[in-house]
C-alpha cells in the first residue's frame, strides 16, 4: 500500500504577493491562482469492498454525511467472496476532496479495499426502467425509437409501455432525454456499477 | 495516490507495554454466561479499572461482578458522562485504554458527549452499553436506544454483539482497535439476552481484522527527503501535537530537536511533549498561543509537524498561515495528512518510530541566527500579566507551578481557565497536561482529573483540576466519588462569576452586550458545596492569600480540596488571534491596554 502522497512542485509563479509556498498550496488544493475561477471539480467512481454487514453499509453512507462529501449515487451487491459486498459510489470533488474521501473510506474498519476506477480503464453500467404512457396507436413509433437504444419492453398494458435499458450513464441519460417527448409515468435508475477493465493486450 | 488498497494483513499484537494484555485465556469445556464471559474477558485484557453505572440491561453483569469479585476495580460514578471523562483522563495519563460500563437507553445517551470528546482528541476508551434483548430491538422497548446509530459518527468503530459466542473476540477487537493506530473510542453494545446466554469461554491471544491496518515505520525515501529539507532549512520549527504524546515520543523528539537546534512549538495537546523550560521551547501556538510562537510560524522556512492536525484554532485563516514554510508532516492517519494544509513531505507512520528513523539521518545544525531572532521576539512580547493588587487568574496558575515545580498533572476545563492553565503553567513532562481540545467539553476537568488519580501508582504526581465557575458545575457530582475514594485532588475554581470565555468574546466582538453570561445569580457557595460533598473547601479573595491557600490545600492528603479563587471578571486571555483572522493579526495584552 502506498499511502504517501507526492505532489508536483509549483511550476507557475504568478505575479502576486503570494509566497512560493502559498502558490504551491493553492495548486495542490486544485484552486486557481487567480481569484474568481472555481476549483476544478470532477466526478469520480469508486468501488469499495466492504464487510457483508448492514453496519458496514451504514458506516459508509454515514461517512458522506458526517464529512460533508458529495454522494451522487451508491449501489451495493454481493461480491465474489460471499462475506464481502461491493459498493459502487459516485462522488464529486476536486482532487484534494477525492483524496480525502478515499482515505476516510479506507480508515473505516469495515472497508477492505477502495479503488478509484475513474483513474483506470474501466466499464460503467447502469440499468434503468422507464414507464411511458402509450396508446396502441403510438406503440410502433415508440418502439422504433427505443430500439436504437437496444431497450427492451418488459411490460405492456393497453395504455402504457415499460422499457428496460442498460448501458453507460451517458446512454441512460440520452434515453431518458428522448423519452421526455412522451408522457413518462415513472423512472427508476439502479445507480452505477463499475469495474476495472483488465487489458489482455497492453501496448 | 490513485489506488488505496488496504493490505489484508493479520492485525496481530505488536505493541507490548500498553495495557499488557494477559493473552490467551479459557475455561476448558465449561460453559459461561455472557456476563461471566464479559468479566473474564476484561480480566484477560488486563483492565485495571471500570467506570460504570448500573441499570436493567446490565444488571446481570453487576450481579456477576458481585459474585466473581474480579481483578479489576469498579468505580460507581454519579453520572455516565463523568464516567466517560474519567476513562479519558485515565487513558490520557496512563496511555492505557479506559473502560466504561453503562446501561441501555439513557445510560448510553449520557455517554455521548464523552465518546465524542474521545473521538475528537484521539483517546482510547471502550464503552460497553447495555441493550434490550435482541428480539426486542427496533420495537421501542423500554430504555431502548439505537446506540450504535447514535454514536456511529463519533466512534472509531462499534459493535453490536448478537451472539454470545462472539463476545470474547469482540471485546478483544474493541480494545485492539481503540488502542492501536490513531486511538479512539469504541462502543460495544450488549443485548441483555446475549449476556444471559452461555458459551465456552476463550479469550483469543491475537485477532485478525482484515479491514484494519495502520502505519508504523515511515517510508525510507520520504525520510531521506525530509532530512534533505532539514539540512537545507535556515529557520526550522517543530510543530508538535498530541500524536507525539500518544506515541510516547517525547524523548526522541527532544533529542532530535536539540540535535538540529530547532525551536519547538506545541499545540494545546502537545504540551509536555517538549520541556517548556528548555531554551528551544517557544510554548504553545495558535489562537491563544504565545506571540513569539506565532511569529516563528509566520517566519519559518520549514515546519516539521509531528502528530498535529492543523486545527483551525492553530492556523486561524489558513491561506495566510506559515506562508514561507515547506511542511514535513508526520502522522499516523492518512486522512490527516494534507487535510487542511498540503504537506511537501508527508511521512505516514508512528511519530516515535519515524523520529527514531530520522535521528541518524540528521546532522547537527547551526541555527543561531534564527534562535537569536526568536529571542528578540520573546523579549518583545513575553507572556505576562498585571500585578496591581487584584486577584488575577494567571498569578494563581504561576503559584501552582511554583508550588509543584511543574511536577504535577494538570487537568483543565474549557474556557479562559483552560487557556491560562496552558499558558502559565510550565509543562515539562508528557501526559501531565490533559484537556478537552477538539470538542471543548465544559465539565471535563473534574471527572477527568478523578480518572487520572485512579490511574496513578502510590506516590504519583499531584493532580490539579483547573475550572471555571461555569464548567465545574457540569459534572460537580463526581466530587462525591473522589471524596469517597479519598483522592487528594486539588480542585481550583477560577471564579470570575461569568462564562468568562464567552464574556471575553462579547466584550471584544459584540460591543459588550453580555447576553446571558453572568453567573452571579445562580452560582452556589463553592466552599459549602465542597463541604457538602465531604471535601475541604477554601476561599481566596486577595493575591496575598494565594500562597497560603495553596499551602493549606497541599496539607490535605485524604480527600479533595476545592479552592474557590474569586478572581476579577474583567481579565481576558491574551494574546489572541480573533476567530477567522490571520495569525499576523494577533491581539496582545499590551495592545489591549492602549485601547
Ligand atoms: C477554548 C479553546 C481554545 C483553544 N485554543 C487553542 C490554541 O490556542 N492553540 C492550540 O494549539 N489549540 C487550541 N485549542 C485546541 C484545538 O481545538 C485542538 O484540539 C488542538 O489544537 C489539536 O491538537 P493537535 O493538533 O495536537 O491534534 P490532536 O487532536 O492531539 O490529534 C493528534 C494527531 O496526532 C496523530 N497521531 C495520533 N497518534 C499518533 C501516532 N502514534 N503517531 C503519529 N501520529 C499520531 C493523529 O492522527 C492526529 O492527527 C483550543 C481549544 C479550545 C476549546
Ligand atoms: C458543554 C459546553 N457548553 C457550552 C460551551 C461553550 N463555552 C465555551 S467556553 C464557555 C464559558 C466557560 O465559562 P467558565 O466555565 O466559567 O470558564 P471561564 O471561561 O470563565 O474560565 C462556554 C459557555 C462549551 N464549550 N461546552
List pLDDT tens digits, range B154-201. Answer: 999 999 999 999 999 999 999 999 999 999 999 999 999 999 999 999
CATH of the domain at A191: 3.30.70.1150
Question: Could you give the CA distance from residue B312 to residue B302 in angstroms, rounded to a whole number?
Answer: 20
B214 touches chain A (CB under 8 A): no
Burial zone of B527 (CB within 10 Å; 0-12 exposed, 13-18 middle, 19+ buried):
middle
- Asked if pLDDT for residue A18 goes beyond 90, the answer is no
Cis bond leading into B575, ω under 30°?
A: yes
Instruction: Note whether B84 and B187 are same-domain residues.
Output: yes
Residue nearest atom 4 of ligand 1, based on CA coordinates: B313
Residue B323 pLDDT exceeds 90: yes
Cα(A65) to ligand 1 centroid in Å equals: 23
Q: Which atom of ligand 2 is nearest to the CA of B471?
A: 15
User: How many distinct structural domains can be found in chain B?
Assistant: 3
Question: DSSP letter string over B514-576?
Answer: -TT-B-TTT---HHHHHHHTT-EEEEE-SGGGHHHHHHHHHH--SS-EEEEE---SS----SB
Indicate if A42 and A58 belong to the same structural domain: yes
CATH of residue A38: 3.30.70.260
Cα B46 to its chain centre, rounded Å, is: 22
Q: Indicate whether A35 pLDDT > 90.
A: no
pLDDT band at A14 (very low <50, low <70, confident <90, very high): very low
Instruction: Say whether pLDDT at B15 is over 70.
Output: no
Q: Are residues B478 and B525 in the same domain?
A: yes
Q: What is the pLDDT of residue A26?
A: 83
- Taking each helix axis as running N to C, give the angle between helix A169-179 and helix A139-148, from 0 to 180 degrees, rounded to the nearest 10: 160
pLDDT class for B555, splitting at 50, 70, 90?
A: very high
Distance B206 CA to ligand 2 centre (A): 43
Tell me if B152 and A59 make a contact (CB, 8 A cut-off): yes
Looking at ligand 1, which residue's alpha carbon is closest to its atom 14?
B437
In a 13 Å sphere around the CA of B579, the CA atoms on its Cβ side amount to: 7
Look at residue B1 in the predicted model and tell me its pLDDT: 34
Residues A60 and A63: their CA atoms lie apart, in Å, by: 5
Q: What is the mean pLDDT of residues B404-418?
A: 98
CB contact under 8 A, A59 and B177: no
Do residues A44 and A80 both lie within one domain? yes
Segment A181-192, tens digit of pLDDT? 899 999 999 999
Residue B329 contacts A where some CB pair is shorter than 8 Å: no
Q: What percent of chain B has pLDDT over 90?
A: 91
Domain of A134, in residue numbers: 123-196
Q: From CA B239, how far away is CA B493, in angstroms rounded? A: 31
Q: Are residues A154 and A96 in the same domain?
A: no
Answer yes or no: is pLDDT of A161 > 50. Answer: yes
Q: Are residues B277 and B308 in the same domain?
A: yes
At B592 the pLDDT is 59
The pLDDT confidence band at residue B19, using thresholds 50, 70 and 90, is very low
Q: Which of B250, B283, B310, B313 to mutate to test the pocket of ligand 1 (most atoms within 8 A of CB)?
A: B313
Based on the fold, state whether residues B472 and B526 are members of the same structural domain.
yes
On whether the CB atoms of residues B294 and B583 are closer than 8 A, the answer is: yes
CA of B499 to the centre of ligand 2 (A): 6
Given a cut of 60, is residue A36 above it in pLDDT? Answer: no
**What would the pLDDT profile of B367-395 be if each residue is shown by its tens digit?**
999 999 999 999 999 999 999 999 999 99
Judge whether B36 and B237 are in contact, CB under 8 Å: no
Q: Please tell me the predicted confidence (pLDDT) of residue B72.
A: 98
pLDDT attached to residue A41: 86
- Pairwise CA distance, residues B342 & B326, whole Å: 9
Which structural domain range is residue B548 located in?
Answer: 393-574
pLDDT at B18: 42
Same domain for A111 and A24: yes
In a domain, B212, yes or no: no
Domain CATH for B29: 3.40.50.970
Q: Are residues B127 and B149 in the same domain?
A: yes
Asked if the structure places residue A133 within a domain, the reply is yes
In contact, B266 and B288? CB cutoff 8 Å: no
Task: Give the pLDDT of residue A28.
Answer: 81
The pLDDT of residue A12 is: 44
Higher pLDDT, A150 or A15: A150
Give the residue, out of B287, B501, B503, with the most ligand 2 atoms within 8 A of its beta carbon, to mutate for a pocket test.
B501
**Does one domain contain both B554 and B414?**
yes
Indicate the average pLDDT of chain B.
94
Question: Which residue, by CA, sits nearest to atom 51 of ligand 1?
Answer: B437
| d(C-alpha B182, C-alpha B118), whole Å | 12
Q: Which of B380, B411, B438 is the last residue of a domain?
A: B380
Centre of ligand 1 from the C-alpha of residue B268, in Å: 6
- B386-393 long-range contacts (CB < 8 A, ≥24 apart) are B387/B543, B389/B543, B390/B543, B390/B568, B391/B540, B391/B541, B391/B542, B391/B543, B391/B546, B391/B565, B391/B566, B391/B567, B391/B568, B392/B543, B392/B567, B392/B568, B392/B571, B393/B417, B393/B420, B393/B494, B393/B496, B393/B565, B393/B567, B393/B571
Flag whether pLDDT at A202 surpasses 70.
no
Nearest-CA residue of chain B relative to A96?
Answer: B339
Do B146 and B225 lie in one domain? The reply is no
Greater model confidence, B298 or B595: B298
On the question of pLDDT at B8 being above 60, the answer is no
Q: Does B226 touch chain A (CB under 8 A)?
A: no
The pLDDT of residue B20 is 44
Shared domain check, A42 and A131: no
Q: Are A4 and B348 an interchain contact pair (Cβ–Cβ within 8 Å)?
A: yes
Contact B531, B506 (CB under 8 A): no
* Domain-embedded: residue B85: yes
Kindly give the distance from the C-alpha atom of residue B424 to the centroid of ligand 2, in angstroms, as a whole number: 19
Do B494 and B556 lie in a common domain? yes
Is B508's Cβ below 8 Å from some Cβ in A? no
| pLDDT for A39 | 61
**Assigned domain for A8 exists:** no
Q: Please judge whether B334 and A3 are an interchain contact, meaning their C-beta atoms are less than 8 angstroms apart.
A: yes
Measure Cα distances from B161 to A132, B58, B183, B194 in Å: 48, 14, 22, 7
Nearest ligand for residue B285 CA: 1
Question: Which of the listed residues B380, B402, B417 is the one where a domain comes to its end?
Answer: B380
CB–CB contacts below 8 A, A to B = 104
pLDDT band at B99 (very low <50, low <70, confident <90, very high): very high
Query: For residue B467, is it within any domain?
Result: yes
| Residues contacting ligand 2 via CB (< 6 Å) | B 413-417, 440-442, 468-471, 494, 496, 498-502
Q: Is residue B171 part of a domain?
A: yes
Taking an 8 Å cut-off on Cβ atoms, the answer to whether A112 and B326 are in contact is no
| More confident position, B28 or B403 | B403
pLDDT in tens, B450-465: 999 999 998 899 999 9
Q: Look at residue B435 and tell me if it is in a domain.
A: yes
- Residues B23 and B51 reside in one and the same domain: yes
Tens of pLDDT along B356-367? 999 999 999 999
A103 and A53 in a single domain? The answer is: yes
Percent of chain A residues topping a pLDDT of 70: 88
Looking at A119, A136, A151, the residue that finishes a domain is A119
Whether B180 and B294 share a structural domain: no
Alpha helices (runs of H) in B96-219, residue ranges in sequence order: 106-109, 112-120, 147-151, 167-179, 192-196
Based on the fold, state whether residues A109 and A130 are members of the same structural domain. Answer: no
| C-alpha A69 chain-centroid distance | 13
pLDDT in tens, B68-88: 999 999 999 999 999 999 999
Q: Which residue among A119, A147, A162 closes a domain?
A: A119
A100-155: per-residue pLDDT in tens? Answer: 999 999 999 999 999 999 999 999 999 999 999 999 999 999 999 999 999 999 99
For residue A202, being part of any structural domain is answered with: no
Closest Cα in chain A, distance from residue B324 (Å): 6
Residue A17 has pLDDT above 90, yes or no: no
* A138 & A107 share domain: no
B207-247 pLDDT tens trace:
999 999 999 999 999 999 999 999 999 999 999 999 999 99
Does B532 share its domain with B417?
Answer: yes
Hey, which residues of B are catalytic here?
A: 80, 142-143, 192, 501
Supply the residue whose CA is at minimum distance from atom 23 of ligand 2.
Answer: B499
Q: Please check whether residues B226 and B375 belong to one and the same domain.
A: yes
Across residues B308-319, what is the average pLDDT? Answer: 94
Number of structural domains chain A divides into: 2
Amino acid at each position: 500500500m502506498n499511502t504517501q502522497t507526492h505532489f508536483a512542485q509549483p511550476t507557475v509563479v504568478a505575479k502576486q504577493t503570494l509566497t512560493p509556498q502559498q502558490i504551491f498550496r493553492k495548486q495542490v488544493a486544485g484552486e486557481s491562482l487567480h481569484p474568481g475561477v472555481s476549483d476544478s471539480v470532477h466526478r469520480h467512481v469508486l468501488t469499495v469492498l466492504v464487510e457483508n454487514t448492514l453496519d458496514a453499509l451504514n458506516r459508509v453512507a454515514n461517512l458522506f454525511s458526517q464529512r460533508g462529501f458529495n454522494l451522487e449515487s451508491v449501489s451495493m451487491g454481493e461480491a465474489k467472496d460471499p462475506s464481502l459486498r461491493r459498493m459502487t459510489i459516485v462522488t464529486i470533488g476536486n482532487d484534494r476532496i477525492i483524496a480525502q474521501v478515499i482515505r476516510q473510506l479506507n480508515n473505516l474498519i469495515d472497508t477492505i479495499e477502495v479503488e478509484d476506477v475513474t483513474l483506470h480503464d474501466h466499464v460503467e453500467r447502469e440499468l434503468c426502467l422507464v414507464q411511458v404512457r402509450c396508446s396502441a396507436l403510438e406503440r410502433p413509433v415508440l418502439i422504433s425509437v427505443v430500439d436504437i437504444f437496444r431497450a427492451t419492453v418488459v411490460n405492456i398494458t393497453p395504455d402504457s409501455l415499460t422499457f428496460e435499458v442498460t448501458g453507460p450513464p451517458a446512454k441512460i441519460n440520452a434515453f431518458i432525454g428522448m423519452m421526455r417527448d412522451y408522457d413518462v409515468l415513472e423512472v427508476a435508475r439502479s445507480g452505477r456499477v463499475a469495474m476495472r477493465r483488465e487489458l489482455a493486450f497492453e501496448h | 495516490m490513485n489506488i488505496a488498497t488496504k493490505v489484508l494483513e493479520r492485525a496481530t499484537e505488536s505493541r507490548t507495554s500498553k495495557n499488557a494484555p494477559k493473552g490467551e485465556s479459557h475455561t476448558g469445556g465449561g460453559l459461561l454466561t455472557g456476563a461471566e464471559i464479559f468479566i473474564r474477558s476484561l480480566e484477560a485484557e488486563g483492565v485495571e479499572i471500570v467506570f460504570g453505572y448500573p441499570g436493567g440491561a446490565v444488571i446481570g453483569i453487576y450481579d456477576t461482578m458481585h459474585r466473581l469479585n474480579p481483578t479489576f476495580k469498579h468505580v460507581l460514578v454519579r453520572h455516565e458522562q463523568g464516567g466517560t471523562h474519567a476513562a479519558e483522563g485515565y487513558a490520557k495519563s496512563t496511555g492505557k485504554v479506559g473502560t466504561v460500563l453503562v446501561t441501555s437507553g439513557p445510560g448510553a445517551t449520557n455517554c455521548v458527549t464523552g465518546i465524542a470528546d474521545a473521538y475528537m482528541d484521539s483517546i482510547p476508551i471502550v464503552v460497553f452499553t447495555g441493550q434490550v434483548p435482541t428480539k426486542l430491538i427496533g420495537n421501542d422497548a423500554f430504555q431502548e436506544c439505537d446506540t450504535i446509530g447514535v454514536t456511529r459518527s463519533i466512534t472509531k468503530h462499534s459493535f453490536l454483539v448478537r451472539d454470545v459466542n462472539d463476545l470474547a473476540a469482540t471485546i478483544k477487537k474493541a480494545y485492539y482497535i481503540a488502542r492501536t493506530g490513531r486511538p479512539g473510542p469504541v462502543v460495544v453494545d450488549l443485548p441483555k439476552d446475549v449476556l444471559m446466554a452461555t458459551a465456552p469461554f476463550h479469550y483469543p491471544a491475537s485477532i485478525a481484522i482484515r479491514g484494519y491496518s495502520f502505519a508504523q515505520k515511515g517510508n525510507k525515501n520520504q525520510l531521506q527527503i525530509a532530512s534533505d529539507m532539514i539540512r537545507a532549512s535556515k529557520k526550522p520549527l517543530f510543530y508538535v501535537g498530541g500524536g507525539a504524546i500518544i506515541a510516547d515520543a517525547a524523548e526522541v523528539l527532544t533529542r532530535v530537536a536539540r540535535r538540529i537546534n530547532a525551536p519547538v512549538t506545541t499545540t494545546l495537546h502537545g504540551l509536555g511533549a517538549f520541556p517548556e523550560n528548555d531554551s528551544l521551547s517557544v510554548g504553545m501556538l495558535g489562537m491563544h498561543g504565545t506571540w513569539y510562537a506565532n511569529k516563528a510560524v509566520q517566519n519559518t522556512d520549514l515546519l516539521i509537524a509531528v502528530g498535529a492536525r492543523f486545527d483551525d484554532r492553530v492556523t486561524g485563516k489558513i491561506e495566510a498561515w506559515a506562508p514561507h514554510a515547506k511542511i514535513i508532516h508526520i502522522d499516523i492517519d492518512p486522512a490527516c495528512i494534507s487535510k487542511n494544509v498540503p504537506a511537501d513531505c508527508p511521512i505516514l507512520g508512528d511519530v516515535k518510530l519515524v523520529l527514531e528513523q530520522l535521528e541518524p539521518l540528521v546532522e547537527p545544525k547551526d541555527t543561531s541566527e534564527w534562535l537569536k531572532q526568536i529571542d528578540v521576539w520573546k523579549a518583545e512580547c513575553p507572556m505576562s500579566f498585571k500585578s496591581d493588587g487584584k486577584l488575577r487568574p494567571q498569578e494563581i496558575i504561576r503559584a501552582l507551578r511554583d508550588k509543584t515545580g511543574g511536577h504535577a498533572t494538570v487537568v483543565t476545563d474549557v474556557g479562559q481557565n483552560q487557556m491560562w492553565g496552558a499558558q502559565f503553567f510550565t509543562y515539562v513532562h508528557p501526559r501531565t497536561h490533559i484537556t478537552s481540545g477538539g470538542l471543548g467539553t465544559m465539565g471535563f476537568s473534574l471527572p477527568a482529573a478523578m480518572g487520572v488519580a485512579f490511574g496513578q501508582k502510590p506516590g504519583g504526581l499531584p493532580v490539579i483540576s483547573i475550572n471555571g465557575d461555569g464548567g465545574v458545575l457540569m459534572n460537580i457530582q463526581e466530587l462525591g466519588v473522589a471524596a469517597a475514594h479519598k483522592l487528594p485532588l486539588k480542585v481550583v475554581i477560577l471564579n470570575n462569576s461569568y462564562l468568562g470565555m464567552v464574556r471575553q468574546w462579547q466584550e471584544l466582538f459584540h460591543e459588550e452586550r453580555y447576553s446571558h453570561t453572568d453567573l452571579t445569580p445562580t452560582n452556589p457557595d463553592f466552599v459549602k458545596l465542597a463541604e457538602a460533598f465531604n471535601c475541604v473547601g477554601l476561599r481566596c479573595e486577595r493575591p496575598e492569600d494565594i500562597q497560603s491557600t495553596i499551602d493549606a490545600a497541599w496539607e490535605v492528603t485524604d480527600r479533595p480540596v476545592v479552592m474557590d479563587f474569586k478572581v476579577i471578571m474583567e481579565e481576558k486571555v491574551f494574546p489572541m488571534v480573533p476567530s477567522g483572522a490571520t495569525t499576523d493579526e494577533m491581539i496582545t495584552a499590551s495592545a489591549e491596554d492602549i485601547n
